[in-house]
């Protein structure tokens, strides 16, 4: 092999990062930084291993809008392109990967099928300060400060974040709105068992009410039950109340999947070390096919192992839910007209 052949061969390797966090305590239960440390000595989970997150960031936008504008999963938005104007007068008008639009859809269905038009409409509804509002919420759930640019395109996940940060951000959705900073060291002992250092209660913040956190989980569950994450049920046979979110970046350079249950929040990233190495086919390069299988295999084996007990019960429904709309009908179908196709959207 020539040096060129060798470089071409190495660059084609797909790498992965996986981290699992217990949302109630913030304890890191699993951390896999790469495919083989013997040959690839780089940790793809740590906070410096940032890659474009794509649609996995959309729940942050949804949660911000639900908190500020008091939306429910059944709030309906038009499936129409909307235009944002930047600070320098430049215009940005996002669309879906299939180019289709028209009709209306609920927030629940928009998230389940990762509809860019609905997400953009939700972002627009927050007003001129929308980017700042979303960034403020993101930083409260563990995203490092000053990492997200204050531009409208962040609603589609154009920024670069780490799997560790993304796992941290999702924990509040299954912990009654309480975010707890992930930690992997509780105390340090010497060889004789003497405690040299003990770490107290980790940093935490009540970022959402219990009601809004519960509604966010119901929407994330819809992603798995009838949306872009449905492979978890059909192909991998994962049972229980599981939520999730797929993510695919431009050119399929990065594939993501966030798996959410009451007992465990998991973040999966897959991609080549060089972001310019991409799939020729956008279908096989989507997060549902690149990253979701890692979580699917993990959860299937974890559920089959009698030594491991991962809580997949539905989070406790808050008592004061009478004024909150949750039931949007089958598959979140409180929409009227338009065409939404999971195979076409695929992100």
Assign 3-state DSSP to the chain and report helix, strand, coil percentages, each to 5: 35, 20, 50
Indicate if the pLDDT at residue 86 is higher than 50.
Answer: yes
pLDDT, greater one: 88 or 113: 113
Indicate if the pLDDT at residue 80 is higher than 80.
Answer: yes
Indicate if the pLDDT at residue 191 is higher than 80.
Answer: yes
Mean pLDDT (the chain) is 90
pLDDT cut 70: percent of the chain above it: 93
DSSP class per residue in 52-108: E-GGGGHHHHHHHHHHHH---TT-EEE-----EE-TTS-EE----TT----SEEEHH
Residues 121, 126, 129, 132, Cα dihedral to 10°: -90
Predicted local confidence at residue 339, as pLDDT: 40
Predicted local confidence at residue 330, as pLDDT: 63
pLDDT digits (tens, 9 = 90+) for 292-343: 999 999 999 999 998 988 999 999 999 877 555 566 766 666 544 444 444 4
Indicate if the pLDDT at residue 251 is higher than 50.
Answer: yes
Say if CB 243 and CB 223 are below 8 A apart.
yes
Domain at 14-187+198-345, CATH from 3.30.70.360, 3.40.710.10, 1.10.10.10, 3.30.450.20 = 3.40.710.10
Average pLDDT over residues 235-246: 95
Average pLDDT over residues 114-128: 96
Q: How confident is the model at residue 88 (pLDDT cuts 50, 70, 90)?
A: confident
Any idea what the Cα angle at residue 111 is, between residues 260 and 247, rounded to 5°? 65
Whole-number Å distance between alpha carbons of 100 and 117: 9
- Closest to 281 measured CA to CA, from 97, 107, 22: 97
Whole-number Å distance between alpha carbons of 248 and 236: 20
């Amino acid at each position: 092999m020539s040096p060129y052949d060798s470089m071409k061969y190495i660059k084609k390797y797909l790498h992965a990062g996986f981290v699992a966090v217990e949302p109630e305590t913030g304890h890191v239960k699993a951390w896999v930084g790469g495919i083989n440390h013997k040959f690839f000595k780089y940790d793809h989970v740590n906070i410096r291993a940032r890659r474009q997150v794509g649609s996995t960031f959309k729940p942050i936008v949804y949660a911000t809008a639900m908190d500020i504008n008091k939306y429910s999963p059944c709030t309906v938005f038009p499936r129409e392109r909307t235009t944002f104007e930047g600070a320098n007068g430049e215009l940005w008008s996002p669309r879906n990967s299939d180019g289709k639009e028209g009709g209306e859809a609920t927030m629940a269905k928009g998230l389940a099928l990762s509809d860019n038009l609905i997400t953009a409409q939700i972002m627009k509804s927050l007003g001129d300060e929308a980017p700042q509002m979303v960034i403020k919420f993101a930083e409260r759930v563990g995203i490092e400060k000053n990492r997200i640019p204050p531009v409208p395109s962040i609603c589609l996940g154009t920024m670069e974040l780490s799997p560790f940060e993304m796992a941290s951000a999702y924990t509040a959705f299954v912990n009654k709105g309480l975010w707890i900073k992930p930690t992997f060291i509780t105390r340090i002992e010497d060889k004789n068992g003497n405690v040299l250092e003990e770490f107290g209660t980790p940093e935490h913040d009540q970022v959402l009410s219990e009601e809004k956190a519960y509604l966010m989980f119901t929407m994330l569950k819809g992603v798995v039950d009838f949306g872009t994450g449905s492979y978890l049920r059909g192909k991998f046979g994962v049972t229980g109340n599981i939520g999730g979110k797929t993510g695919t970046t431009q050119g399929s350079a990065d594939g993501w999947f966030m798996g959410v249950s009451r007992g465990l929040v998991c973040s999966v990233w897959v991609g080549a070390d060089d972001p310019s190495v991409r799939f020729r086919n956008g279908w096989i390069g989507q997060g549902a096919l690149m990253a979701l299988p890692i979580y699917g295999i993990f959860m299937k084996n974890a559920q089959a192992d009698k030594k491991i007990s991962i809580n997949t019960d539905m989070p406790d429904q808050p008592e004061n839910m009478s004024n909150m709309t949750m039931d949007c009908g089958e598959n979140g179908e409180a929409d009227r007209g338009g065409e939404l196709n999971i195979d076409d959207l695929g992100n």
